[in-house]
Amino acid sequence: MENQSGLPADASTDSTPSPQPAARQTDPPGPSPRDIEVAGSLRTVLHRLIKLLRRETRNEAQLSLTERSTLGGLYQHGELLPSDIARMEKVTTQSMSQVISHLFELNYIHKNTSADDKRKVLLSLTPAGRAYVEQLRLDKQEWLARALHEKATPEEKELLMKAIGVLTKLMDE
């Protein structure tokens, strides 16, 4: 086969190498099979640990997960609008209204009129609600501390501390 100059295609009249096409910018490669394996194992273990913590700690008030999470959100943020809590919990405002009513009946939350807009109600924890959240957190921490004391070696505890750093890094935005 001949090129445009009439020479065979493999014949070259110039000794300089022809320029290579520019390298394409590609996305970094996706997760490796090992990444996928670690992610699946981590998800499973964390899910089971959370379920175990819930089962092993008191819930005398028989609060639903959404009710407990609502109290935790108020504990963390201080005051929130019901619509903000509904959005955080990924429930409808109607469902959140039922949660709020139950927590109000138990005297776990206050309803305060917003200083900025008198039509809006801000929710906050009562002393009883704050005490409930703090006791639940303490119960979970004590259960986990006992489990670590009974089942983990000092080296494994150090490994867990290093893993906490990695897990924290995964959550950073």
Paired residues of 124 in beta bridges? 110
Residue 54: its pLDDT value, please?
A: 84
Residue 75: its pLDDT value, please?
A: 97
Q: Global pTM?
A: 0.69
- List, for residues 133-169, the tens digit of each pLDDT value: 999 999 999 999 999 999 999 999 999 999 999 999 9
pLDDT value at 37 more than 50: yes
Buried b / exposed e over 49-66, threshold 16 CB at 10 Å, is: eeeebeeebeeebebeeb
Q: Where are the domains of the chain?
A: 63-171
**Would you state the structure tokens that stand for residue 145, as one six-digit string?**
């501390």
Domain 63-171 fold is: Arc Repressor Mutant, subunit A (1.10.10)
Mean pLDDT, rounded, for 14-19: 52
Buried b / exposed e over 85-104, threshold 16 CB at 10 Å, is: bbeebebeeeebeebbebbe
- List, for residues 55-97, the tens digit of each pLDDT value: 888 777 789 889 999 999 999 999 999 999 999 999 999 999 9
Alpha-helical (H) ranges within 25-153 are: 33-56, 65-77, 82-89, 93-105, 127-151
Residue 108 amino acid letter: Y
Nearest partner of 103 among 67, 128, 64, 137, judged by Cα? 67
